[in-house]
Amino acid sequence: MDAAAQAPFIQPIALAKAYRLLNHGPTVLVSAHHDGTDNVMAAAWACPLDFDPPKVTVVLDKATATRALIEGSGAFALQVPTRAQVHLTRGVGGESLADSPDKLVRHGVQLFRMEGQVPPFVAGCAAWLSCRVVPEPHNQQTYDLFIGEVTAAWADTRVFKDGHWTYETADPAWRSLHHVAGGHFYTIGDPVEG
Amino acid sequence: MDAAAQAPFIQPIALAKAYRLLNHGPTVLVSAHHDGTDNVMAAAWACPLDFDPPKVTVVLDKATATRALIEGSGAFALQVPTRAQVHLTRGVGGESLADSPDKLVRHGVQLFRMEGQVPPFVAGCAAWLSCRVVPEPHNQQTYDLFIGEVTAAWADTRVFKDGHWTYETADPAWRSLHHVAGGHFYTIGDPVEG
């Protein structure tokens, strides 16, 4: 998706409601920038940690190039990819920048910037959370577990409006992805009230 | 669901594949037992942390009665509730044992035991992971974040078979629940290959 075409639909989300962007457990894309290098990886192991100020956890293997950028910059973004981006998600999740310097181009990743934010953002996603690392060296070294405080968040109004996902009325191409293993995903399904 | 009726369908899952039970980000039920008391709560903030031995994270607010049982026993179970259990899930998630001593009965929770395991398990769920707490007092106090090592796991063969969820062929009543906010859930949807 073209970043310029999506721009009119990107709306800021109140920080107190940012957890809702991840609460249903989607697989995310993790992006970062440091010292002239951008990268994007996929992560199924990302989760809200607190409401307000919102925090998140994400597991980042030591072998990933994105982790090095995050350690260097102290910042990352999580974004919620869509059914339309399933090949992109699998692609950036299955290759490392260390081995495939052109991986973002080959998988059709278009990046855009947000004013005042260090990480790049992936165009075409349904939502974006910009985070600063809350340094916890023991967690990072022992468990590959990173904590981030969400400092800003946005969503595309075509699939998230007035604080709620609108998967039931949005085009199915907007549905979130939920990875099981080996490139097998499920999309999010239908609403049900508890 | 009756625990005895479900028993023939409960199969052990190899520990190296236990992460697949949570990888798609379902809302879980957290159960624990200590000093004669059983309890069950709901948690949307649970996530795999490692493959083998499998570990998980789960966020447990200090106000929950279940957390006290977990701190006392050093053990808990995570289980994956189903669409058929959406009212049960909302019910045990919205009330505390401290205020509602009969909450399990009123919400139709039927517990069963597994040999050698401390926590009780909720009948009718799709999968169960028995965990021992990996003590990390700083995470627990500062972030309400608990790490568990999965010591045994099981799934119902009617919805998880040969290491894979079979949501696409199982009765829709088996679909996992993904909470957004305020009792609004989505079920898991359709498969898509990346």
Residues A194, B89: C-beta atoms closer than 8 Å? yes
Q: Which of A44, A90, A183 sits opposite B23 (nearest CB)?
A: A44
Task: List, for residues B110-163, the tens digit of each pLDDT value.
Answer: 999 999 999 999 999 999 999 999 999 999 999 999 999 999 999 999 999 999
Neighbours of B110 (CB within 10 A): 17
* Contact predicate B72/B35, CB 8 Å: yes
The CA R_g of chain B, rounded to the nearest whole Å, is 15
- If contacts are CB pairs under 8 Å, which of residues 49-88 in chain A contact chain B? 49-50, 55, 57, 59, 83, 86-87
Residues with Cβ within 8 Å of residue B102, at least 6 apart in sequence:
none
Position B75 scores a pLDDT of 98
Q: Which residue has the tokens 């190899």?
A: B14
Name every chain B residue with its beta carbon within 8 A of the beta carbon of A178.
Answer: 23-25, 178, 188
* Contact predicate B30/B75, CB 8 Å: no
Task: List, for residues A111-128, the tens digit of each pLDDT value.
Answer: 999 999 999 999 999 999
Position B191 scores a pLDDT of 98
Distance (Å, whole) CA B18 – CA B31: 18
Distance (Å, whole) CA A82 – CA A109: 13
Tokens of B144: 């309400």
Name every chain B residue with its beta carbon within 8 A of the beta carbon of A55.
Answer: 143
Name every chain B residue with its beta carbon within 8 A of the beta carbon of A26.
Answer: 25
Q: Which residue has the tokens 């040999």?
A: B115
Name every chain A residue with its beta carbon within 8 A of the beta carbon of B139.
Answer: 136, 139
Handedness of CA B128, B132, B133, B134 (dihedral sign): negative
CB of A146 within 8 Å of any CB in chain B?
no
The answer on pLDDT for B19 being more than 80 is yes
> Nearest residue on chain A to B90, judged by CA atoms?
A194
The answer on pLDDT for A1 being more than 70 is no
> Nearest residue on chain B to A134, judged by CA atoms?
B143
> Nearest residue on chain B to A149, judged by CA atoms?
B143
The CA R_g of chain A, rounded to the nearest whole Å, is 15
Phi/psi for B12 (5° steps) reads -65, 150
Average pLDDT, chain A: 97
Q: How far is CA B186 from CA A174, A175, B30, in A?
A: 14, 11, 19
Residues A179, B23: C-beta atoms closer than 8 Å? yes
Distance (Å, whole) CA B95 – CA B118: 23
> How many angstroms separate the CA of residue A131 from the nearest CA in chain B?
16
Tokens of A114: 């947000």
**Which of the residues B30, B47, B51 would you substitute to probe the A interface, choosing the one with the greatest number of A C-beta atoms within 10 Å?**
B47
Region of poorest pLDDT, from A47-51, B55-59, B100-104:
B100-104
Position A110 scores a pLDDT of 97
**Which of the residues A17, A19, A23, A50 would you substitute to probe the B interface, choosing the one with the greatest number of B C-beta atoms within 10 Å?**
A23
Position B1 scores a pLDDT of 67
Task: List, for residues A37-92, the tens digit of each pLDDT value.
Answer: 999 999 999 999 999 999 999 999 999 999 999 999 999 999 999 999 999 999 99
Question: Tell me, what DSSP letter sits at residue B118?
Answer: S
Position B2 scores a pLDDT of 84
pLDDT average, residue stretch B47-71:
97
- Residue A160: half-sphere exposure toward Cβ, Cα within 13 Å: 26
Distance (Å, whole) CA A135 – CA B42: 29
The answer on pLDDT for A13 being more than 90 is yes
Position A2 scores a pLDDT of 84
pLDDT average, residue stretch B32-36:
97
